[in-house]
Amino acid sequence: MSSTESTKEGERTVKYSDIVYEVLKRDILNRKFEPKDKLSETALARMYNVSRTPVREALHKLEKEGLVVKLSDGYHVGFLSKEQILKIFEVRSVLEALAAKKAAENHDPKMLEELRKAAEAFTNADKSNPLALAQANSHLHDVVADMSGNEYLRDILKDLRNKLAIVRVDLFASSSRVEQEIKEHMEIYEAIAKGDPQAAYEAALRHQLNLMEFIKSKKMIGGILI
């Protein structure tokens, strides 16, 4: 094989792995695969009509995000205990509050407009689609983190949200929690829009603590909050 052919083959592999990554991630979040399910490279390659190489690369990428774990018998869909989830939220609550505070201090007009659009997108998302709500929620929090102006804070929060990706979908399966989420997100946005760091901090912290109480009230069966 010539160097040109080798390069083209490599480009195709990268492209296929990106596609498999997106599709597999969507399937995991849509519960096509449940927490703890084994993810066979051979079976996935057959399912997505690709070779095992892009599947392996996609699984490795998802492992870094926390959606997939590698055990002695291969890859499995990631899973967290209720105790682990609450421990992550303990850390996340303080950092999300700090991000909101810094966002209000920076009060960047361009970023504020992006945050307004993100808040509206979450408010108007399909209430019957937990995945769409989780994605809109994640984008809103990403904008707040970006607006903080602290890239280390942003990266840590993104990592924590990745670890909680499957759980976030479960949270939005409750209609009562969805309405509360909308209210709490608007409170965070309004505090940031007013340029009130303390109010933004308190609104973001209250939001996270409310989520923790909601999780405590739920049962966890087979890695799923119900």
Which CATH code is given to the segment(s) 82-225?
A: 1.20.120.530
Tally of CB atoms within 10 A around 5 = 9
* Adjacent-strand bridge partners of 69: 76
Where do the CATH 1.10.10.10 domains begin and end in the chain? 3-77
Measure the CA–CA gap between 33 and 77, rounded to whole angstroms. Answer: 7
All CATH 1.20.120.530 domain ranges of the chain, comma separated, are 82-225
Distance CA 153, CA 159 (A): 10
Q: In this model, does residue 31 exceed pLDDT 60?
A: yes
> CA–CA separation, 153 vs 206, rounded Å?
19
Find the mean pLDDT for residues 1-28: 70
User: CA–CA distance from 5 to each of 13, 49, 209 (Å)?
Assistant: 12, 22, 55
CA 101 to each of CA 6, 38, 57, 120: distance values in angstroms, whole numbers, following the listed order = 50, 41, 38, 20
Q: In what order do the strands lie in the sheet with 74-77?
A: 38-39, 74-77, 68-71
What is the CATH T-level fold of the domain 3-77, as seen in this structure? Arc Repressor Mutant, subunit A (1.10.10)
**Residue 115 pLDDT > 50, yes or no?**
yes
pLDDT (0 to 100) of residue 45: 96
Rounded distance between C-alpha atoms, residue 159 and residue 62, angstroms: 12
What's the confidence (pLDDT) of residue 19? 93
Residue 2's pLDDT is 47
Give per-residue pLDDT as tens, 161-214.
888 887 878 888 777 789 999 999 999 999 999 999 999 999 999 999 999 999
DSSP symbol at 222: T
Q: What is the pLDDT of residue 11?
A: 53
